[in-house]
Amino acid sequence: MTFRVRLINGIFKPEHLFYQLKLSEKIVGIIPKLLLLLLFSGVLSFIMAHYGFYTESLTKQIDTLSKSEFELSKILIGVGGLISSIAFPLVFLLCSTLLITAFFREIAIFAILTIQLCALSISLIENALFVPIQYFWGISSISSPFGLGVIGQLLSENEVLRNIMASLTLFDIWSIVITVIALRLLSEKSKGYIILATIGIHLFLNIAGALITSLNLHTFI
């Protein structure tokens, strides 16, 4: 049986899709779906750069830069955002797939990659929904209504901790649930093991992402 990757079904009907994946002998469509997600991520980044979402820190230096320097800096920051919009999803897919494979060696790596493509889709849906919120209300990502960033700001002045809490969102929970459903269908390991491993991997990736965010990479590109 040939399994064709269908991301919409994966995120809205995971039980049905991953049961089909369990019965399949061959997986097709991974590369086209990956390229589609990268294109979507790049388009989102272009829109955000067009509306100046990446230039918050740059505006603080507007009095110290000439007009040409300011415009050049905006272009460089936009290009950096575009590069990161391609690089970060690839790094996420690579790291998450390898980590899950380490805990679930009985599952084929392409099956795990299929699961993580669905997880990446959820992350991009979150990013897309946040764009109009940021545009119309000027809310920064750390204060997103989808996550715990606001609570983090009330609890601590530590930027890393705030970013970690901001990364814990409703969409992250959605991703965890889908991953658990998929792994329970594909693995014979216990429910408790699957849940703990999935949550642990997501927390590790969230913490790593928060540390990278705290470095404010856009200012270095």
State pLDDT tens for residues 9-44. 999 999 999 999 999 889 999 999 999 999 999 999
Does position 51 have pLDDT exceeding 80, yes or no?
A: no
E strand segments, 32-172: none
Distance of CA 54 to the CA centre of its chain: 17
Task: Give the residue among 151, 217, 185 at the shortest CA–CA distance from 16.
Answer: 185
Range from 23-27, 118-122, 216-220 carrying the lowest mean pLDDT: 216-220
Q: Say if pTM beats, i.e. exceeds, 0.75.
A: yes
Structure token pair of residue 115: 């699961």
Range from 4-13, 61-70, 100-109, 193-202 carrying the lowest mean pLDDT: 61-70
DSSP 8-state code for residue 15 = H
Helix (H, G, I), strand (E, B) or coil at 66: coil
Structure token pair of residue 37: 């997600």
Q: Is 72 in contact with 24 (CB distance < 8 Å)?
A: no
Q: How many residues does the chain have?
A: 221
Does position 218 have pLDDT exceeding 70, yes or no?
A: no
Position 134 scores a pLDDT of 84
Position 63 scores a pLDDT of 59
Partners of 169 in the beta sheet? 147
Q: How does residue 219 score in pLDDT terms, banded at 50, 70 and 90?
A: very low
